[in-house]
């Protein structure tokens, strides 16, 4: 992995564990054992780094969700790709979704980073909306309202599950995630 990628990886972790406002180039330089000047060589300012983190997150999550959708025609198997990402963050008990972390700081993160994270949220919600619409059309999922409204509810609840799991333990966070899934199951 090249130096720029290393910086980006650690910065992404810090956004997910501490939030954008709670880390500095000094923190990065200590973690990576490099000078702040070396970081500035790759990212002139923290706003540039924040935007690069947001772009990386969008690309990574879009790739994972695209792969999940292409892996099966079964909406339940497809949506598991999203739940796997959320479960991984809950299991870490430290990380939360970078979009969720940024939304908590929306008034203080640089505008380009905020816009890119909003784009990430919209991508996830649209992806979820497509999956659950297919699920309802196939009769394997049920929910009130429009697919978009339900997708927004799932996304918001998943964000809460990550926060709840971080504060109250993996078991509680995963229990919330299980309940989110249960709300989509048709009544028998």
Domain containing 75 — which CATH number? 1.10.357.10
Count of structural domains, the chain: 1
**How much is the pLDDT for 61?**
93
- 25 domain residue, yes or no: no
Residue 174, token pair as written in the block: 């995963």
N-terminal to C-terminal alpha carbon distance within the chain: 51
pLDDT at res. 103: 82
Helix (H) or strand (E) holding 84: helix 75-92
Residue 7 lies in a domain: no
Q: Considering the domain boundaries, does residue 102 fall inside one?
A: yes
Summarize pLDDT for 50-61 with one digit per residue, the tens: 999 999 999 999
| Cα dihedral 168, 171, 175, 176 in deg (nearest 10) | 30
Residue 47 lies in a domain: no
Q: Would 21 be classed as within a structural domain?
A: no
What range does the domain containing 91 cover? Answer: 54-182
CA 130 to CA 86: how far, in whole Å?
A: 18
**Average pLDDT over the chain, rounded to whole?**
92
Check residue 71 and give its pLDDT.
93
- Return the residue matching tokens 């799991």: 165
Residue from 4, 110, 1, 108 nearest 51 by CA: 110
What's the DSSP call for residue 186? P
In a domain, 74, yes or no: yes
Whether the per-residue pLDDT at 1 is higher than 80: the answer is no
Report the length, in residues, of the chain: 188
């Amino acid at each position: 992995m090249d130096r720029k990628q290393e910086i980006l990886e650690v910065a992404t972790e810090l956004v997910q564990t501490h939030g954008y406002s709670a880390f500095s180039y000094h923190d990065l330089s200590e973690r990576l054992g490099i000078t702040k000047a070396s970081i500035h060589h790759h990212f002139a300012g923290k706003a540039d780094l924040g935007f690069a983190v947001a772009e990386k997150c969008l690309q990574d999550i879009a790739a994972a969700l695209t792969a999940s959708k292409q892996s099966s025609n079964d909406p339940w198997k497809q949506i598991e790709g999203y739940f796997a990402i959320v479960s991984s963050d809950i299991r870490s008990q430290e990380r939360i979704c970078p979009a969720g972390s940024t939304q908590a700081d929306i008034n203080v993160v640089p505008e380009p980073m905020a816009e890119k994270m909003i784009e990430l949220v919209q991508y996830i919600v649209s992806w979820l909306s497509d999956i659950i619409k297919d699920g309802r059309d196939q009769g394997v999922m049920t929910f009130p309202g429009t697919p978009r409204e339900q997708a927004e509810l799932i996304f918001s609840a998943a964000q809460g599950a990550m926060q709840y799991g971080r504060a109250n333990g993996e078991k509680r966070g995963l229990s919330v995630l299980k309940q989110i899934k249960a709300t989509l199951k048709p009544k028998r």
